[in-house]
A and B are shown apart, each in its own frame.
Chain A
Amino acid sequence: MTNETVDAADRLKIGPRENVNYPIVMKYCGHCSMPIEYCEYYPEYDKCKDWLERHLPDDFERLKIEEEQAAADGTEDDKKRQKRGGKGLLRVKKKEDVPKKICVSRAARGKKKSVTVVTGLSTFEIDLKVAAKFFGTKFACGSSVTGDDEIVIQGDVKDELFDVIPEKWPEIDEDVIEDLGDQKR
């Protein structure tokens, strides 16, 4: 026991450690976003495990071995620690499943000019501001974020968008981009 406390005190000491290069590169779980060691406290631990198995097989193996060890000599350990009442359980907010779809349409602007309206980019977790800037430079025209999930590009560039978007963001397939045709503003 004394040995353990000494270790802990040593670990908690302030100041940079030797032989460690800062900044430390962290590995975060892709499912719960926490450091891997805290996954077990997440209500959807199983899904974290799935993610780990797919993305970081090495850490997954280590976790498995540790778990087995804990199961082997864990019964005694449980009694020694003090237990606390209360729920203290995290609740997971349900993610709203919005269908991932991008809509492009053309809107008339004056008699002979038009603008292109792109919606749905944020369902792919793309930063709209960056996207608008990108469209602006790509097509050499004005482009702005006009709403919650809407970008307006000046000029009719609808047809080009079908090539440009999948090229810039490989995670977007051309098939999920829908053409809404002409629309009134």
Chain B
Amino acid sequence: MFKKFEEKDSISSIQQLKSSVQKGIRAKLLDAYPKLETHIDLILPKKDSYRIAKCHDHIELLLNGTGEQVFFRHRDGPWMPTLRLLHKFPYFVTMEQVDKGAIRFVLSGANVMCPGLTSPGACMTAADKGTVVAIMAEGKEHALAIGLLTLSTEEIQKVNKGIGIETYHFLNDGLWKSKPVK
């Protein structure tokens, strides 16, 4: 999704958000990520005003007061954290671990295939289809990508073929490389 993303060309407009909309987004985030409650004030301080950057392909980025990208979403999809945020607060998203062999493919932007999630090096936490997941890797500490489950974990285990997680945002893609927006 962000493979060809470039800060200069892809962001078409930046908007200041109304406080009512801000509240709505905050509530939505807490709804989607209940574990975030303890630290959300660090990520999105209450008094701060956030902005939204509208980008090509119906992507929206949520910027916090300092201009850092913290969340993004595609059309009306769920808000997903950026990897930089996730590295700081790694605990609030469901995590799935892929085996070593899959890392280089994910890092070049491929979707995660089921066998990469079921082999001995991998480990899954049970989740439903359509859940936002952080993709971790065998033997590594930090997340390397963010995606959406296209099958429930049960189905992945059963089918063991084809795409299991659709990758949205991965290390060194366009969003990762973009700098805070002033």
Contacts and interface: CB of A to CB of B under 8 A. Distances in A.
B108 A127 contact: no
A33 B102 CA distance: 20
B182 A89 contact: no
Contacts of A86: 105
B105 A22 contact: no
B97 A12 contact: yes
Nearest to B110: A88
Contact of A9 (B105, B125, B140): B125
Contacts of B140: 37-38
Interface in A1-55: 1, 5, 8-9, 11-17, 22-24, 26, 32-35, 37-38, 41-42
5 contacts: A16-B35, A35-B171, A84-B102, A88-B105, A89-B108
Contact of A35 (B89, B101, B142): B142
A8 B123 contact: yes
A13 B125 contact: yes
B95 A84 contact: no
B95 A14 contact: yes
Given A37-B141, A90-B172, A14 B102 contact: no
Contact of B136 (A12, A33, A84): A12
Interface size class of B (residues with CB under 8 A): 35 or more
A83 interface: yes
A33 B144 CA distance: 12
A150 to B, nearest CB: 15
Contacts of A130: 182
A17 B88 contact: no
**How many A residues touch the partner, as a band?**
35 or more
Nearest to A23: B88
Nearest to A7: B123
Contacts of A88: 104-105, 108, 110
Given A22-B39, A82-B119, A33 B176 contact: yes
A14 B93 contact: yes
Interface of A: 1, 5, 8-9, 11-17, 22-24, 26, 32-35, 37-38, 41-42, 80-84, 86, 88-91, 127, 129-130
B171 A5 contact: no
Given A9-B123, A9-B125, 11 more contacts: A14-B35, A14-B92, A16-B38, A22-B88, A33-B176, A38-B171, A81-B99, A81-B121, A82-B101, A91-B108, A127-B182
A88 B88 CA distance: 28
A23 B95 contact: no
Contacts of A91: 108
B101 A81 contact: yes
